[in-house]
Amino acid sequence: MKKISVPKQIRKIAAIRILERFLLLAVLLLVAYVFSDYVINNIYEEANFGNYSFTLFFIYIIPFWLSKIPKKLFDRDWYGEILSFETNNHEFKFFDGKDKREKFSLHALIKEPNGKLHTHRITNEKLFKPGDKVIHVYGMDYITPIRTPSNPGKIVCVCCGGDNETELKHCRYCACTLDVKLVDEKKG
């Protein structure tokens, strides 16, 4: 059985990012409370239960969606193998409605050893290929490939997503340690 070895520095950064999301949620809920109070007291002429509950539900659900907390509450460390890639095309219209901009994002389909599938966004398609083994660390937004002498290549920083040479110990962009690896779990 394999276990993911994550340095304390990365765990601290992940904890800070999750705390930042909770603080963002608190601020958004405060803004939602003030806005809902204004809407209910000044816009609705008749305060009935339907208007009140509809307003509160939609005003309070938006902060949870913006903070990504529901997704992060069920997040965990995992590793797996990249099966395939898919490209998502998003089309954005500007305020005048005439100009359009397209944005492409690359997602990898990753299968854990227990069979669970994950879809994860990839920032640089040149760093990954189907068959690569990758690690995802709880609280982080980036995955990193597991590099071995038989599978050389660049390492992706789990903190900032920067690409680094395999011989580096710390990320050249954010100075975060790159020592995330799989180790054999000791039976005892």
Question: How wide is the angle at C-alpha 117 spanned by C-alphas 111 and 118, nearest 5°?
Answer: 100
Q: Report which of residues 157 and 58 the model is more confident about.
A: 157
Residue 53 confidence (pLDDT) = 72
Q: H or E segment at 113?
A: none
pLDDT digits (tens, 9 = 90+) for 81-104: 999 998 877 676 666 666 667 777
Give residue limits of the domains in the chain.
2-73, 78-184
**What distance in Å separates the CA atoms of residue 151 and residue 137, rounded to the nearest whole number?**
21
- Report DSSP state, residue 151: B
Sheet with 117-122, side-by-side order of all strands: 117-122, 100-111, 78-93, 133-136, 143-145
- The pLDDT of residue 23 is above 70: yes
Q: Is 117 exposed, middle or buried (0-12, 13-18, 19+ CB in 10 A)?
A: exposed
**What is the average pLDDT across 170-185?**
84
Q: Report which of residues 47 and 179 the model is more confident about.
A: 179
pLDDT digits (tens, 9 = 90+) for 107-132: 899 999 989 998 888 877 788 888 88
**What distance in Å separates the CA atoms of residue 146 and residue 105, rounded to the nearest whole number?**
22
Q: Is 108 exposed, middle or buried (0-12, 13-18, 19+ CB in 10 A)?
A: buried
Collapsed DSSP state (helix, strand, coil) of residue 186? coil
- The pLDDT of residue 51 is above 70: no
Residue 188 confidence (pLDDT) = 46
Residue 82 confidence (pLDDT) = 92
How many percent of the chain have pLDDT more than 70? 77
What's the whole-number average pLDDT of the chain?
Answer: 79
- The pLDDT of residue 156 is above 70: yes
**Is the CA virtual torsion 113, 118, 119, 121 positive or negative?**
negative
